[in-house]
């Protein structure tokens, strides 16, 4: 059987290393912080697009290896073609790991800047229709200052989306009114990492792993945060959706009032106030949120070991168990002794220069029991082989939903001990699966658990709005919309307001939410 070798002409060229973390200090002014935040978001998007291209190149090589294995005689007759392709695949994995680290650093940078802006007492708001977004002071003077423009720092104006990569001049040194604002991330952004810190009155979730608590109603003289209306006092009109996809499809009045009701009870900071300029009560969540203990923040979920949701077993091995979940020592993981010996054998083979044998053994781990994979990840990381871990997790992400859920739960238990990178990498790979398969993984994890919440946040940041709507549709078909509510709320909080609008529009196009009173289900809009 003839097998056509994939060409490398379309493989992404290696990208130069970047350092998205070295830009600023908390002492910078709010205008400078906002400009640096936009630059960090551009870095994050560029790394995400690069990561997506590398994943496609790896998929091509993997498919080619499978064809070689099925062929009667490999190309060349002696297996050299297979070895060559495995080496190319290993190089791509190394580059993919480096780009993913850049992506995570950029996400950390975004989170830090958003936190500094919030700590300085400023809130990012959309400007009036046709104008850039701006920073407004939080508190009782916000409404008055927003109407007069006092103390407002404008963000760069957003151009039409004709090019996903902004010009270099727009990132470094362009005037705020001319530099393009980055489009919201629709390809992988670990959203739990880039979650903006809401204003003090907004009831921010304590950590990426925590489900949000509904915000308390704002006093009448507070900054407007409710749904849109006309004639509001001390506020600006909502910004009109911009970009090629909205051309000719929206009138300004269409984005006001009930048309901006939050899907699944979403309540985000920065939406226009009601007709009286006051913030109405938060739309109630259909699933009762549970506050959890604070855990360290960050793009790679360091320390997010707590959780809520489904029933966990008494020993902490069940999925979605909050109180039962705890960090465990690697030596107590199932299959640890086997994993330790396997990692030691790989190290000996590498010392002998037998990289082909190493790759062959790594591919064989696809047949290991799912509960043994976390132990193998830890053992390989202790031997200093992150590229081997990448290969292992790439294979793990192609397993069935139940097996992936088992691996995610195991890695989640050891993540605070320095293995959070591996957990997030597996979540990113899993989030790239088709919506129906991703819905099956979420169901296997137990929708409502902390692991499912982290996976959904990654999915919201890496998939486009239509794919997220497809995922929601599959979960609703399975009767899980009430549990999904709190998770989707937390996930969309991690994205900016245009991203929120995109997802809400995609849900409407698919007929979501349902109207109130449809059988046993409550209206998914929370009305």
The stretch 111-135 carries a mean pLDDT of 69
Instruction: Tell me, yes or no, whether 306 lies in a domain.
Output: no
The stretch 457-474 carries a mean pLDDT of 82
Determine the Cα–Cα distance for residues 405 and 488; give it in Å rounded to an integer: 19
Rounded percentage of the chain residues whose pLDDT exceeds 90: 0
Give the domain-ending residue among 200, 220, 242. Answer: 200
pLDDT in tens, 218-248: 444 444 444 344 334 444 444 545 554 444 4
pLDDT at 126: 61
Q: From the centroid of its chain, how far is CA 69?
A: 35
Nearest Cα to Cα of residue 164 among 137, 185, 138: 185
Name the packing angle between helices 465-477 and 497-509 (round to 10°). 50
Determine the Cα–Cα distance for residues 199 and 269; give it in Å rounded to an integer: 8
Instruction: Tell me, yes or no, whether 413 lies in a domain.
Output: yes
Which residues have CB under 8 Å from 198's CB, separation 6+? 118, 204, 215, 269, 493
The stretch 39-49 carries a mean pLDDT of 83
pLDDT at 515 over 50: no
pLDDT at 311 over 60: no
Mean pLDDT of the chain: 61
Instruction: Tell me, yes or no, whether 214 lies in a domain.
Output: no
* The most confident of 80-84, 418-422, 487-491, 497-501, by mean pLDDT: 418-422
Instruction: Tell me, yes or no, whether 409 lies in a domain.
Output: yes
pLDDT at 8 over 70: no
Residue 508, judged by CB atoms within 10 A of its CB (0-12, 13-18, 19+), counts as middle
pLDDT at 210: 37
Q: What share of residues in the chain are helix, strand, coil (percent, to 5)?
A: 50, 0, 50
pLDDT at 125: 66
Determine the Cα–Cα distance for residues 179 and 166; give it in Å rounded to an integer: 9
pLDDT at 102 over 70: yes
Instruction: Tell me, yes or no, whether 403 lies in a domain.
Output: yes
Q: Return the C-alpha torsion angle 312, 314, 316, 320, nearest 10.
A: 10
pLDDT at 184 over 70: no
- More reliable by pLDDT, 514 or 490: 490
Instruction: Tell me, yes or no, whether 257 lies in a domain.
Output: no
pLDDT in tens, 186-226: 334 333 344 444 433 333 333 333 333 344 444 444 444 44
pTM over 0.85: no
Residue 188 domain boundaries: 30-200
The stretch 362-379 carries a mean pLDDT of 82
Q: pLDDT-based confidence at 77, cuts 50/70/90?
A: low
Q: Are 315 and 324 in contact (CB under 8 A)?
A: yes
pLDDT at 59: 78
The stretch 82-104 carries a mean pLDDT of 79
The stretch 414-430 carries a mean pLDDT of 82
Instruction: Tell me, yes or no, whether 143 lies in a domain.
Output: yes
Q: How many domains does the chain have?
A: 2
Give the domain-ending residue among 154, 171, 200. Answer: 200
* The most confident of 222-231, 274-283, 415-424, by mean pLDDT: 415-424
Rounded percentage of the chain residues whose pLDDT exceeds 70: 47
Give the domain-ending residue among 147, 175, 200. Answer: 200
Same domain, 340 and 196: no
Nearest Cα to Cα of residue 152 among 128, 173, 168, 171: 128
From residue 56, alpha-carbon distances to 92, 139, 368, 404, 431 in Å are: 10, 47, 25, 21, 14
Nearest Cα to Cα of residue 153 among 20, 28, 279: 28
Instruction: Tell me, yes or no, whether 119 lies in a domain.
Output: yes
Which of 356-360, 369-373, 424-428, 491-495 bottoms out in mean pLDDT, i.e. has the lowest? 491-495
pLDDT at 307: 37
Q: In what order do the strands lie in the sheet with 153-154?
A: 122-125, 134-137, 153-154
């Amino acid at each position: 059987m003839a097998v056509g070798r994939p060409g490398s002409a379309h493989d992404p060229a290696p990208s130069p290393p970047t350092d998205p973390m070295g830009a600023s200090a908390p002492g910078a002014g709010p205008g400078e912080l906002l400009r640096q935040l936009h630059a960090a978001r551009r870095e994050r998007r560029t790394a995400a697009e690069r990561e997506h291209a590398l994943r496609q190149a790896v998929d091509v090589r993997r498919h080619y290896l499978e064809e070689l294995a099925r062929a009667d005689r490999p190309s060349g007759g002696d297996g050299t073609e297979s070895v060559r392709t495995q080496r190319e695949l290993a190089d791509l994995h190394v580059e993919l790991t480096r780009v993913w680290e850049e992506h995570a650093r950029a996400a950390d940078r975004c989170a830090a800047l958003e936190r500094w802006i919030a700590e300085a007492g400023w809130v990012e708001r959309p400007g009036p229709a046709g104008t850039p977004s701006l920073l407004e002071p939080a508190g009782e003077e916000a409404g008055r200052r927003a109407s007069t423009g006092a103390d407002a720092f404008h963000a760069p104006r957003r151009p039409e989306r004709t090019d996903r990569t902004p010009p270099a001049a727009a990132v470094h040194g362009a005037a705020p009114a001319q530099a393009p604002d980055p489009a919201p991330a629709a390809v992988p952004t670990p959203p739990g990492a880039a979650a903006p810190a809401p204003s003090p009155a907004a009831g921010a979730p304590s950590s990426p792993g925590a489900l949000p608590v509904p915000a308390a109603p704002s006093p009448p003289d507070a900054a407007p945060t409710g749904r849109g209306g006309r004639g509001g006092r001390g506020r600006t009109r909502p910004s009109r959706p911009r970009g090629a996809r909205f051309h000719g499809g929206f009138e300004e009045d269409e984005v006001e009032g009930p048309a901006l009701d939050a899907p699944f009870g979403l309540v985000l900071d920065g939406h226009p106030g009601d007709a009286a300029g006051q913030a109405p009560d938060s739309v109630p969540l259909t699933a009762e949120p549970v506050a959890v203990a604070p855990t360290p923040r960050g793009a790679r979920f360091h320390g997010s070991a707590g959780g809520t949701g489904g029933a966990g077993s008494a020993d902490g091995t069940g999925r979605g168990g909050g109180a039962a979940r705890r960090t465990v020592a690697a030596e107590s993981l199932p299959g640890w002794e086997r994993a330790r010996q396997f990692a030691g054998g790989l190290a000996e083979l590498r010392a002998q220069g037998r990289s082909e044998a190493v790759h062959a053994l790594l591919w064989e781990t696809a047949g290991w029991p799912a509960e043994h994979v976390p132990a193998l990840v830890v053992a390989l990381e202790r031997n200093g082989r992150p590229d081997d871990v990448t290969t292992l997790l790439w294979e793990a992400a192609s397993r069935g939903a139940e097996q992936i859920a088992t691996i995610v739960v195991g890695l989640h238990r050891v993540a605070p001990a320095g293995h959070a990178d591996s957990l997030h990498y597996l979540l990113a790979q899993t989030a790239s699966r088709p919506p129906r398969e991703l819905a099956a993984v979420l169901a296997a994890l137990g929708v409502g658990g902390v692991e499912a919440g982290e996976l959904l946040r990654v999915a919201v940041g890496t998939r486009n709005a239509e794919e997220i709507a497809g995922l929601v549709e599959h979960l609703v078909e399975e009767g899980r919309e009430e549990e999904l509510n709190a998770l989707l709320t937390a996930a969309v909080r991690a994205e900016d307001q245009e991203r929120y609008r995109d997802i809400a529009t995609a849900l409407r196009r698919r007929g979501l939410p349902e109207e109130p009173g449809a059988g046993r289900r409550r209206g998914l809009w929370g009305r």
